[in-house]
Structure 1
Amino acid sequence: MKTAKILFFIVIASLIVVPLLLPFIGKNKGEKPTALESKKVERQGDNAVPLQQPIKNWSYTHFDGDEVAGEFSGEEARIVGTGEYDLVKPSAVIYTKPDTPEDISKKVLLSAHKGHYSDADRTLLLSDSVIAEIEEDKAKLTADELLVETTKRTITTKGGFLLTKPDIECSGKGLVADDSLSKVKIQENAYIKRADQNRATYIYADSMEIDIVKRNESSRSNMTADYEISNLVATSSRFSKVVTNNSIIESAKIIGQKEADVILLKGPKRLTFNEYIATSDGDAVFDSANKLARFSDNAKVGNKDFTILADNIAIKLSEDGKNVEDIIAIGSVSVFNKADGTTIYGESLKRNLVSGAISVTGSPYVSAIRGEGTLKVGELIFNQKNKTIEGRKGKQRSVLQFRYEKK
């Protein structure tokens, strides 16, 4: 009888103690158990059995070696599988991993109304009013759904999102970023706004990749913004677009370098500077720092008064970037002046929009619908104000005066 009682108590004790020890069996030496694992967990074989009651006010610390890589907590957690937890009002702190010895690790603060944590994948999926913040950078990300992969150092969103840093705003659908929210890829409906003093730049594209980096003091010049955009790649099925106070840049693919001040345009393109519109079949480069735009292969620029066609065209803007000052064209140049019906041909051209003077070289000549004759000389100086064309060839000089009535 006593033996039966002893056996009965041994069986009961094993049923109570063994399930409590199972979460820790097989742990590697030195591996720290999670706070969730420290709670009571019932197991059957390798499959966890969900608790009838959720774990209240839970917390969990994720270690990378001996260093804390993340701290997680929330109001409730329910075990739904081995190392799988559904969360209510979770919050977390993850620590960025510096890229260089000069960088410092930063705290990324995460919060949401709902979440799911996978211990095996070291992933945290947040949904419903998701917020991620980096206080050191004054960065804030809001999203419909956010996935944090701690082992890959990536933050991914589904659906819409809004990312803000001082003077920079990004939005769209589907964000893939590093844990510091610096290397950003927007998968759909990409939009970026960069503000600096009284100048604002807006970028629109189907998809976009950019780096948002802190501006070095040596590169500030007259810029006041704390952050800058670099390594921009904007792609669209038709036109990606960069809009500033005075210009609109449209191209199938826009590649930005040097803080996006130098922009390379690929595919079909169109640049608008106030009243002037420029296009080309080949690549184009827009250098906003030097106020210069260059077009290659069947380039074209003009306004309501004239049109210039050439193999290559360069446009020089005024210092404030509001007006076109000079146009230089090289290779198979033709200029059609709509007001007086004259067409000027040559191999190179320089037109000053301030004075209205045009200089054409390379066996140039001019023809007119209205006027008298055709002038063929070595160089042409066209005076739009006086309606004269002065031809020069060596020491010889001749002037052709056009007489016409305006349309």
Structure 2
Amino acid sequence: MRKRLKNRIWPLWAFLCCAAPVLAQPPRGPLVVSPQVNADKTVTFRYLAPQAKEVRLSGQFLKAPVEMSKDAQGIWSVVTEPIKPDIYPYSFQVDGITVMDPANVAFFPNERFKASLVDVPGDSPLVHAMKNVPHGSINYEYYPSLEGTTGSLVVYTPPGYDQNPATKYPVFYLISGTTDTEETFFKVGKTNLILDNLIAEGKAKPMIIVMPYGNIAARVAEQKSGPKPADPTVRDGDDAVKRANDFATDLVSRVIPYVEKNYRTLANRENRAIGGFSRGGGQTLRTAFSNLDKFAWVCSYSSYLSPAEMDRNFPQIGGDAARTNTRLKLFWVSVGSDDFLYKGTVEFMDYLKAKKVNFKSLITDGGHTWMNVKKYVAETTPLLFR
């Protein structure tokens, strides 16, 4: 009897002994709410750092970082001026060190900088807003890539894809910029919500969107335990062109076959589009111009190829403009007037005009930002597959 009782009491005694250190832990710090979007479109940012000497807020809605003030609990805060509705990256500079907002789960996927995201809604829903419409799905996929590595994709399927197993869809291959990841068009560009809304309004055709990771060299180095290579310093230098060609090889020989095997696609050039932002725009142009048998729709966002590279590597584009114009159902080039790539993009457009290559263009306000990218996606996707 006593032995049984002892065995029964032991687990309770052990629990109390183990729980004592937990119960003795100091209380947690104060709850921090950040960001807090206010009704007047101002935003309150907060950061808990009792020992910090200086905290500043940096964001793409600011011309320069602003000072934050500390209260008695050690919470630094600042209230901004009213912000134009959109989604913006931001971060804190804590004693000179840039950090994300630990109170915010929304972040900017990127290989280098780590920023949080604040969504300032409009008085009426913006094109990327979550609306009460049918929604598509986001899937993460892994495929066999170059040099024995495993590549990663984010794939959007439109509303109704799972409910209509006999229906096949066109595909838009959409590539992020330098240091972005395969998640950036999804988490920052809100491409899935943009398409959900446009499809619900009858403005865009239902389509699959495939978002690959653009830095093949970095992935190969990571998976083979090598050092990550620095980014090319010359946009049309030999190293940049080689990496773009490697990406094109991966997309055409690995990604497209994987997608067409695992998703219900319309597998012909008339139902394949390719587009990209920044480096992804350069990859788009080089991949498309080398594979016009694969793509009939081409969208370049905030990017270009130099006239010298066009004449050297793609003379057929301008040399036989009539054939190019026949094959490309849409050739789109867009850039912001404050974009650091504005000059080169305008020179690219002037080159195309001189060669009589047809294209549609859009020059917006603003710079090399994802606020502009969302505009370009919203403008171009309704034109695809028409």
TM-score range, shorter chain: under 0.3
- Which of structures 1 and 2 has the larger relative contact order (alpha carbons within 8 angstroms, sep 6+)? 2
Q: Which has the higher helix share?
A: 2
TM-score normalized with structure 2 length:
0.23
Q: Which has the higher strand share?
A: 1
TM-score normalized with structure 1 length:
0.22
Larger Rg: 1
